């Protein structure tokens, strides 16, 4: 079953339209795909209605954008069928970046321009649909960041701007200097990671009418293979509900995310077509309110107050 | 001694006028009062200047509004002498609500309308002076909540809207969607529960010129019969001050709450006329600033920095 | 080497111009200086470009403003060459203030006026360049505070208003009532005290285009003589960088503070000319971004995420 257009979301009134499920390419270099296989994987995603491709300059130690770009080079027709997200601001100390002595951030205009232009080159594309500041930089000069993004926007190199892992005050600061709307805050959220629900992050998204993008909806796999009382509680409740809805636990976990009230997008990390298909089908689960709270209660270890 | 009109507070410029002390009916079903006795209790409250009656749909496992409503049925003349607050949004798994499988929240338009209309029926009244969302619901759709409250307001079923136990970002979100002012945030506050003083809750109330309503001003009785170093410290300081002001410790605890600078209201939970009278008299205590800090210091366990 | 005019900062568009390094007189009474020696110390500061003098009513148990004022009495010509900051709102239980029974706050109009007028008298000056509320008072009535500061401003007794140790919601509350801009939030910040970087304090400063003033940039000396793993880690990294930049550790610590992106001012606490000179020279250190993160990583105990 493929997803219908109703599974598309405008991140903001003036924002881009994305697919509710995004394909994440964090581990692309570990998938050992030939370019032909990657093209096949991408086409499969598109058929499933998953048109949003989530990248970052640093993924795969700066290699993954290039791997993806090879696919677009061979199949430039695919570009217009997808939305590409990338990120910048983190500097990794890896072999290909000997100038990086330690993991740090750089949100200067010079670094942002260089990173974005390099992402375009690597990805074989003329524009990014969305660029995110990957992590809040304690040294960020919000005005300088705003200026360079405005320029890159005017040059057509980026269509929209957002942030990732920002607190509410960091978001507010950056937005106060930027004449474009921040269209998303990409944050960690799963049954094992509830912070954004309680610390104001999602309140701010809802207030600003933007859709957050949720990363690690399976808590990096811990929901499936982690140990500890909390995870066991969640899986126990999850199993019962999987029988009720006739779905698998990864699908239930996604349905739990999608039930959140502010139109969240969720980012997958798999390179397997079967898992992508299962995830796409999860969009059709009609979770009941009380079952959402059952899972929340299992995660919290106690009923809501 | 009865309270004078000066013990009345407008919760907001466009908000209702309430009595500084509210009678809380959380435990009404445990008081074992006949309707005649309840009428007597209510009349006594009114004589003491306590005109604000604090309810919630769920109090007494959904029974208390009905018990109170029996009194109003026999004495409809009392309705205009009081202000009735109720709350909605929590769903308790009790016998009378077999559809509730676990404690959860429901802040959908459908549930809110049903809950408010049921409160009106139970309470034998045509309107609520104030309706509160009882707890912040992680699933709340602030626009949907705002819309249904606007409708209920237009229909004359509710006069004012507020929240309870909301964080500052939840308050800000809901207010941003609602064309009526949120006139209060009803939160826990006592000598044993200082969070709202420090976490921005009361700052937000003062900024928005609204009066918070404080629940559990005696920390559920712990201030009197709890154990532990912190409580002992507070009681030790409290005893000295009780001698100084010639009052009892429950009165001093209330005076400490009333001394807060943003015109708080405080909710009692007693069904005993003698305790109500003592509380009403506490409004006349002229606490000195340094004595307020003495009690704060005892609660904190160290001087202010 | 003396500092140039470029080491001056406007705290806010409509704020005062201060020197990036301020001389703090917290411990003035412990320096055992004659008035002549103090004049010499002050003149030395001014020569180094350090024109901002940080006081508070309570420093030296209410004695230090008077000691400083003796110097201004003998050398009134110095007044126009400096900017004087003072603070009010804390009440210390010391011999000279028998009416203070315990450490507490007082932010009433009456106390603020009395404190400011006393500071003027003690300091032998007609005006304060900046007055700060020293600590957030849980009992503060922001409107009352705003009104008295407006009056003192109109009377020419204070030029600018700010706060110290305020959370973001306290700052926002006070600003919402005050028709003057709050031109600073004076907060603790050092390699050992990172809170203001992460809790929104500095985000708020940057959003409002104001410069925070950092107190205790050496963590009260702990950076030099404290023990514990964290301090050792910082000193180890610091030593290497001191060799690289050919500076001393106190200078490096200041350079780390100055590297923050929102034009912070930093307050010294020394009465020794040699240390003042070293500090002034620290303004010329051209710290590299990655070295800033090296020190941050040492303080955090792990790389940034």
Q: Which residues of C221-243 are buried (b: 16+ CB within 10 A; e: fewer)?
A: ebbeebeeebbebbbebbeebbe
**Averaged over B127-154, what is the pLDDT?**
98
Residue C98 falls within a domain, yes or no?
yes
Residue B144 within any structural domain of the chain: yes
CA distance A42 to chain B (A): 33
Query: Cβ of A204 and B102 within 8 Å?
Result: no
Is B170 near chain C, with CB under 8 Å?
A: no
Looking at residue A2, its pLDDT comes to 40
- Residue B60: what pLDDT? 98
Question: Which residue is it, tokens 């491709």?
Answer: A53
Yes or no, beta carbons of C105 and B303 under 8 Å apart: no
From CA B267, how far away is CA B25, in angstroms rounded? 9
Identify the pLDDT of residue C6. 65
Residue with tokens 């049954």: A191
> Under an 8 A CB cutoff, do B261 and C139 touch?
yes
Does B302 have pLDDT greater than 70? yes
Q: What is the pLDDT of residue A6?
A: 65
The Cα C297–Cα C231 span in angstroms is 12
Number of domains comprising chain B: 1
pLDDT of the residue at A298 = 98
Mean pLDDT across B254-265: 96
The mean pLDDT value for B271-291 works out to 97
pLDDT on residue C95: 96
Q: Which of C103, C138, C169 sits opposite B168 (nearest CB)?
A: C169
Give A193-221 pLDDT, tens digit per residue: 999 999 999 999 999 999 999 999 999 99
Chain B contact present for C304, CB below 8 A: no
Reported confidence tier of residue B6, pLDDT bands at 50, 70, 90 = low
- Contact check, Cβ <8 Å, A294/B169: no
Output the average pLDDT for chain B. 96
Q: What is the CA C52 to chain-centroid distance, rounded?
A: 9
Q: Which of chain B's residues have a Cβ under 8 Å away from the Cβ of A202?
A: 138
C-alpha angle A168-A170-A172 in degrees, rounded to nearest 5: 70
Average pLDDT over residues B125-153: 98
Asked if A130 and A161 touch (Cβ cutoff 8 Å), the reply is yes
Interface contact C139-B303, CB threshold 8 A: no
B276 φ/ψ angles, rounded to the nearest 5 degrees: -60, -40
Residue C303 lies in a domain: no
Cβ-based contacts of C167 with chain B (< 8 Å) = 198, 200, 203
Residues of chain C positioned with their CB less than 8 A from the CB of A135: 304-305
Give a yes or no: residue B156 inside a domain: yes
A305 belongs to a structural domain = no
Q: Are strands C213-215 and C182-188 parallel, antiparallel or unpaired?
A: parallel
> Average of pLDDT values for A289-294?
98
Q: Are B126 and B149 in contact (CB under 8 A)?
A: no
Side-chain half-sphere exposure of B256, counting CA atoms within 13 A: 32
Beta bridge partners of C22: C52, C267
With a pLDDT cut of 90, the percent of chain C lying above it is: 98
| Pair A283, A250: CB distance under 8 Å | no
Range of the domain at A75: 5-300
Average pLDDT over residues A73-99: 98
Which residues in chain C come in under a pLDDT of 70?
A: 1-6
Rounded distance, CA A38 to CA A36, Å? 5
Three-class SS state of B155 = coil
Closest residue of chain B to C100, computed from CA coordinates: B290
User: ipTM of this predicted complex?
Assistant: 0.96
pLDDT value, residue C197: 98
Q: Looking at the predicted structure, is the pLDDT value of residue B92 above 50?
A: yes
Contacts of A138 in chain C (CB under 8 A): 197-198, 260, 296
The enclosing domain of A25 has a CATH number of 3.20.20.100
Q: C59 catalytic, yes or no?
A: yes
Q: What's the confidence (pLDDT) of residue A1?
A: 35
Whether A303 contacts chain B with CB within 8 A: yes
B134: nearest CA partner in chain A: A305
Confidence of residue A95 (pLDDT cuts 50, 70, 90): very high
In chain B, positions 95-134, which contact chain A (CB-CB < 8 Å)? 100-106
Count other Cβ atoms within 10 Å, centred on residue B4.
Answer: 10
* CA C63/CA C130 separation, integer angstroms: 19
Q: Which of C203, C206, C303 has the CB atom closest to A102's CB atom? A: C303
Whether pLDDT at B39 is above 50: yes
Per-residue DSSP letter, A190: B
B168-177 helix and B142-154 helix, angle to the nearest 10 degrees: 60
C270 in B contact zone (CB under 8 Å) = no
Q: Which residue of B has its CA nearest to C138?
A: B197
- C contact residues 31-70, partner B, Cβ 8 Å cutoff: none
Question: Quick check: B31 pLDDT over 70?
Answer: yes
Residues of A in contact with C207 (CB under 8 A): 142, 169, 172-173, 176-177
Q: Is B12 left (phi over 0), alpha (psi -120 to 50) or beta?
A: beta
Residues in chain C closer than 8 A to B297 (CB atoms): 102-103
Residue of C nearest to A165 (CA): C305
Q: State residue A3's pLDDT score.
A: 41
pLDDT at res. A34: 98
Residues 6+ apart with CB under 8 A from B45: B23, B51, B53, B276
């Amino acid at each position: 079953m493929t997803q219908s257009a109703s599974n598309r979301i405008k991140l903001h009134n003036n924002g881009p339209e994305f697919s509710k499920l995004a394909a994440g390419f964090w581990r692309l270099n570990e998938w050992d795909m030939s370019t032909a296989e990657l093209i096949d994987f991408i086409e499969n995603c598109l058929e499933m209605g998953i048109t949003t491709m989530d990248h970052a300059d640093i993924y795969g130690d700066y290699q993954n954008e290039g791997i993806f770009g090879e696919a677009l080079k061979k199949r430039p027709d695919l570009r217009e069928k997808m939305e590409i997200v990338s990120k910048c601001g983190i500097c990794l100390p890896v072999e290909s970046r000997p100038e990086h002595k330690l993991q740090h951030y750089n949100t200067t205009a010079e670094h942002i321009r260089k990173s974005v232009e390099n992402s375009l080159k690597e990805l074989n594309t003329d524009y990014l649909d969305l660029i995110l500041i990957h992590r809040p930089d304690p040294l960020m000069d919000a005005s300088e960041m705003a200026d360079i993004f405005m320029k890159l926007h005017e040059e057509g190199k980026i269509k929209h701007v957002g942030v990732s892992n920002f607190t509410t005050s960091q978001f507010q600061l950056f937005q106060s200097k930027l004449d474009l709307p921040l269209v998303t805050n990409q944050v960690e959220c799963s049954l094992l990671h509830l912070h954004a629900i309680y610390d104001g992050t999602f309140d701010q998204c809802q207030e600003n009418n933007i859709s957050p993008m949720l990363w690690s909806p399976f808590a990096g796999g811990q929901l499936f293979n982690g140990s500890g009382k909390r995870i066991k509680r969640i899986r126990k409740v999850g199993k019962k509900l999987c029988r009720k809805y006739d779905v698998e636990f990864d699908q239930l976990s996604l349905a739990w995310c999608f039930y959140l009230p502010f139109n969240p997008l969720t980012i997958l990390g798999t390179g397997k077509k079967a898992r992508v298909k299962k995830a796409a089908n999860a969009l059709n689960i009609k979770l009941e309110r009380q079952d959402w709270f059952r899972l929340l209660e299992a995660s919290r270890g106690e009923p809501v107050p």
